[in-house]
Structure 1
Amino acid sequence: MRTLRNWMPTLGWLAATATSIALASAALLPVLRTAPAGEETLASVHELRRGGAGDEPPLTVTTPAQPTPSVASPSSAPPSAAATPTPSAGAPRTTTTRDGWTVTTDAAGVATYLRSFRVEGGQTVVRASRGRVQLVTATPGPGYSAKTVQNTPDNLAVFFLETNHHFVIHVVWRDDAPFAQVSEIGG
């Protein structure tokens, strides 16, 4: 029969392990409870269902276009003032909000739509332009996994999955604009 003296190393190891887990958990709690930046601007699944994300009036912001350097052809003459890059004055880019999407229109009139979706299962960001829908990012929440399906360039589905509970963000390009539907299955 083993005496208490024989169990001391095992009990000491268990106590040290339990203490380190408790201290690490206590130290990480404030970090884990902190909301990610920009959460107040994201629409929840409940707001999306009742259409609350588009209740605000459209916001218009104009930003100057990025300067593009002009490239001079190489010559054997010493560089002159004409050989230095000159920024071209392009038309400004316009940013508006439409149906929950941030719409940026460039100088050529091409609109690019960007939207973030937050559901219990995770968060995803989708970009759409010229009949193409693209996934920017999909981050699953704790206990969920993420899966994307895109059979055609104009049709994207992002799934956040856990056992018997799924969230689906489905985005299609329709009538020259993206259309999004958020569904919760099970739970």
Structure 2
Amino acid sequence: MRYRDTLLLSLVQLMCLGSFAFADNKPDPTAEFVTRVQSASSWTTKTRNDDDLKQAAEYDLLGAEFCNLTPEQARQAVKMLEDSAVAKESVIDKIESRGRIYVLLRYYFDIPEYESSKKVEYFGGWLGVPQKSDQVNLLWPLKREKNGQVTLHGRFQGYMGDRYDALGEFDFFNKKYGRRQK
């Protein structure tokens, strides 16, 4: 009887270990998304040419995919992308990585195209952000189309100043504007 109990206990332990192994093998949607973002074309090093529409379509698809993540998953993706940017050696590579985050946040949140400069918080020194009068285009480099969809239109024009605070911007947009409705 003792041998049989030991054998049964061992079998139960193996089954439990197996179920943990299967649970670990489930694809992590956040990690898979981050991998796709990291392999996307660079918004910051793009030059004006015929690939503009191709790049816009690529980012529009990534933006739509990003919108499918829960806020917790989306924040985790931003953290993973930021951690990857910090690990880069060159400043250009860091800006390139953070540029992807900057663009994606504008797909995820329901931010207005223009907001009073008195209500705006800045999380980085992105150059070329359109302004008119006392209004700042928070949606840039995206543009809201007539059908309500947002698409990539703007071009990177430079970065100056302190490090871009992607998580700070995520939290601010999440609290102030909330997620974009699909």
Work out which structure has the larger RCO, using CA pairs closer than 8 Å and 6 or more positions apart in sequence.
2
Q: Which has the higher strand share?
A: 1
TM over 0.5: no
Instruction: Give the structure-2-normalised TM-score.
Output: 0.30
